């Protein structure tokens, strides 16, 4: 119970901040970033994409380090670093500044999500882990919903204050909140079952025993890095899952342009940002519902494929009509399908 209170809520909040900072560029575009930085042609798209170059570089080595250090400190330090880097976006004056900042934002954000999953798997059995992972990932669509609402408020209340555009205020405030959350998480997050300092010896023993029983091995039965790599490389399911994730991630690039799409509806900047929220709120609800029902059945294949089909229908609608209502409806299908199938 202590772990459910201290681990999952903190990881959930930090994931929301992770995606808020990462995807703020989409809202900033509506607020005038592209014009202020004199971006031309594909420069905005490149600025979006370069984040993932840094992200890829940092993920795998980070988890190897995480297994040997205190997660509460390690993850919190990286959260603070990405908050600082994200806030630096407010100081960007041109395209080159934006590229450098976005690259290092990817580097500093990369340890968090795989690290959060690793930490969850260090505390929960396989049966307990599935739904908790789904709850954690629901932070992604919720962050995008909050992003639109927060951006609308900043656009209305802070645009021009102290001579700064609203998008610059957005990066400053979201970065500051992230740093504050990082400081708090360092004191709240647990480490590993055998090393968490605020657990009693009995509680540590129970936590370790549960995982040993679930895995069928004891901690003393160490596995080398090469053995772990070999086992993963020989598992065909890993490659099938990788193909699915690659295709879904490619389709997921649409989320970087939702505010731009909604802006073509002819609304004001504030209303445009507000209208980006409902599709993501629907996606969060759908993801939790699918996770819950797939656990209750239990069934996975149908629950995975059905949202993907809905997403495909959404993309078809979006590319075959120019009418506002069907295009907005297609966003619900696309975003709901994408997040609903992440299970």
Tens-digit pLDDT string for the chain (343 aa): 578 888 999 999 999 999 999 889 988 998 999 999 999 989 999 999 999 899 988 887 888 898 889 999 999 999 999 999 999 999 999 999 999 999 999 999 999 999 999 999 899 888 788 788 888 888 888 888 888 889 889 999 999 999 999 999 999 999 999 999 999 999 999 998 888 888 888 888 888 888 888 776 554 456 666 777 777 788 888 888 788 778 877 777 787 788 888 988 888 888 888 998 899 999 989 888 888 787 777 777 777 778 888 888 999 999 898 899 999 999 999 998 888 776 5
Cα angle, residue 195 at apex, residues 191 and 201 outer, rounded to 5°: 125
Residue 35 falls within a domain, yes or no?
yes
Cα angle, residue 50 at apex, residues 48 and 56 outer, rounded to 5°: 120
Orientation of helix 43-66 relative to helix 112-121, angle to 10°? 30
User: How far apart (Å, rounded) are the C-alpha atoms in residues 290 and 129?
Assistant: 15
Cα angle, residue 265 at apex, residues 251 and 320 outer, rounded to 5°: 50
- Cα-only R_g, the chain: 21
Residue 271 falls within a domain, yes or no?
yes
* Residue-number span of the structural domain to which 103 is assigned: 2-191+223-340
Residue 200 falls within a domain, yes or no?
no
Q: 245: domain CATH number?
A: 1.20.1250.20
Structural domain tally of the chain?
1
Residue 14 falls within a domain, yes or no?
yes
Residue 99 falls within a domain, yes or no?
yes
Residue 197 falls within a domain, yes or no?
no
Give this prediction's pTM: 0.83
Residue 142 falls within a domain, yes or no?
yes
Residue 243 falls within a domain, yes or no?
yes
């Amino acid at each position: 119970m202590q772990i459910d209170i201290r681990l999952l809520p903190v990881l959930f909040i930090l994931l929301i901040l992770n995606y808020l900072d990462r995807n703020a560029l989409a809202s900033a575009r509506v607020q005038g970033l592209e014009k202020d930085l004199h971006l031309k042609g594909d420069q905005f798209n490149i600025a979006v994409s370069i984040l993932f170059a840094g992200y890829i570089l940092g993920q795998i080595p980070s988890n190897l380090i995480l297994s040997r250090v205190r997660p509460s400190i390690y993850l919190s330090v990286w959260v603070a670093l990405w908050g600082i880097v994200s806030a630096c976006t407010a100081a960007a004056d041109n395209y080159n500044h934006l590229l450098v900042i976005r690259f290092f934002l990817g580097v500093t954000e990369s340890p968090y999500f795989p690290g959060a999953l690793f930490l969850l798997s260090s505390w929960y059995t396989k049966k307990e882990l599935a739904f908790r992972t789904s709850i954690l990932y629901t932070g992604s669509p919720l962050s995008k919903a909050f992003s639109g609402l927060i951006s609308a408020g900043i656009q209305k209340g802070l645009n021009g204050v102290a001579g700064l555009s609203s998008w610059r205020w957005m990066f400053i405030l979201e970065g500051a909140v992230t740093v504050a959350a990082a400081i708090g998480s360092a004191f709240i997050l647990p480490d590993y079952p055998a090393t968490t300092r605020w657990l009693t010896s009995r509680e540590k023993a129970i936590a370790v025993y549960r995982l040993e029983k679930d895995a069928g091995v004891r901690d003393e039965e160490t596995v080398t890095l090469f053995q772990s790599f070999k086992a993963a490389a020989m598992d065909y399911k890993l490659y099938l899952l990788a193909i699915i994730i690659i295709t879904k991630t490619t389709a997921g690039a649409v989320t970087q342009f939702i505010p731009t799409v909604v802006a073509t509806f002819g609304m004001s900047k504030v209303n445009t940002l507000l209208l980006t929220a409902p599709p993501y709120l629907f996606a969060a609800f759908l993801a939790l519902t699918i996770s819950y029902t797939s656990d209750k059945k239990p069934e996975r294949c149908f629950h995975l494929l059905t949202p993907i089909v809905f997403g495909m229908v959404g993309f078809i609608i979006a590319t075959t009509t120019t009418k506002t209502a069907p295009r907005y409806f297609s966003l619900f299908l696309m975003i709901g399908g994408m997040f609903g199938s992440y299970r």
